Structure formats: structure tokens, C-alpha cells
Chains A and B, each alone.
Chain A
């Protein structure tokens, strides 16, 4: 079936360095992608989204890149801070899926001081 997955379950990064989290998706009809951050004991929090008519979108310290050719999504966090320590999920949906948002497996980011 269709799926969204992540390659690295845990990413350790030095404070101040840049982080890159990757995500692969298999549904070629997916046209909307979201990155969520989930801190321990909390619900997922929206970070940034991108639609399929774009290949790059920037927010505050975060950039999402979308490569539709290879069905790959990435989240770049600039100057990673201790507060960035969390689990990050990519999620995708499509017009056909309606309200159904499918989450990838998650990557834990650990920021070392």
C-alpha cells in the first residue's frame, strides 16, 4: 500500500550545527506535505508545509525541500538548538485522500550541547 517513511530513526547533532531529516513517500498522487515536531508528552506541532507545485519553502530556521521525481522530502533546521530536540514526522495527503493525513515513521533529533 501507499506509505510515507523515514530513513534515520535517530539523529544526533551538535548545538549550532544544521540538521537534515529525510523522508520518502510512495504515493505519486500526494500533493501536500507537512512536517510536524513532537516533544515528549505533547501533541504534534506544525512546523512547515509545502504543496506539490513547489520544490522549496523556507520558514524561520527551517527549510523544506521536495523532490517529486524521487518522491523525497527533507527538513533542514539551521543552527540547531536544544529546544529542537524532539521527534519529527513528515506527513502527506492528496486531493483523493481528502482529510486523511498519513504520517511517516518519525526521526528523533537529539541536540548535544
Chain B
């Protein structure tokens, strides 16, 4: 079982909705990540938080807004999404800057 917990597992939203994806880890990891994965494609990095500060933003549109309230939690706020944003959103954490990433099961998002 993964030690990175993501909620909700499934989310359906309209293009005018505001929703949030949540991620939690209690492994004491200080780096947390959001990845986006389309069907039959590899995960693509969106954001990296290191010691609760945003360290990498891979030119993600502003309709995706990450937040790291504390070292165990990572949120992804969604607003005015497009149907092409439908994907599996994966959260991960790691202990070191170049260490093993532990992934959650993902939140499958459908934008209507």
C-alpha cells in the first residue's frame, strides 16, 4: 500500500467549477510533487515543493494553483479547467532532492 494518500480518487467537474485535489504523506519527506498523466503516456512534472516552498513550476497554466500548507500536505486547486485537462493527477514525495519518489494512487479528473 502506498504511503502517499490522495483524495478524491475520482473527480468530475465542469469548466466553471472550483475544486481541489489533496495529498498527504507522513514519511517525513520534505519534497512533494504534482505530476499529470494522460492515458498511455508517462507522468509529466507540474510542480515541486521543497521544504514547503515552490521550487519548480513547469510552466503550468494558472488555472492550476498548488499549495503546500505544511510539510505533510499538498493541494492542487483547480479553476476554469478545460476538457483537455482531464487526466490522472499524481502526487509524490521524496526524502532527498534526487532520491526515490513515492507516488500516490492518483486522482482521476474528468472535465466536462
Instruction: Give me the interface of A with B, judged by CB distance under 8 Å.
Output: 31-32, 34, 36, 41-46, 49, 89, 93-95, 97-106
Asked if B102 is at the interface of the complex by the 8 Å CB criterion, the answer is yes
B103-A98 in contact (CB<8A): no
B70 → A minimal CB distance (Å): 18
Q: In whole angstroms, how far apart are the Cα atoms of A36 and B77 in the complex?
A: 27
A interface secondary structure, majority: loop
Note all chain A residues with C-beta closer than 8 A to B56: 98-100
B105-A106 in contact (CB<8A): no
B100-A99 in contact (CB<8A): no
Asked if B59 is at the interface of the complex by the 8 Å CB criterion, the answer is no
> How many B residues face the partner with a CB closer than 8 A?
26
Q: In whole angstroms, how far apart are the Cα atoms of A80 and B41 in the complex?
A: 24
Select from chain A the residue with minimum beta-carbon distance to B4: A43
Select from chain B the residue with minimum beta-carbon distance to A104: B42
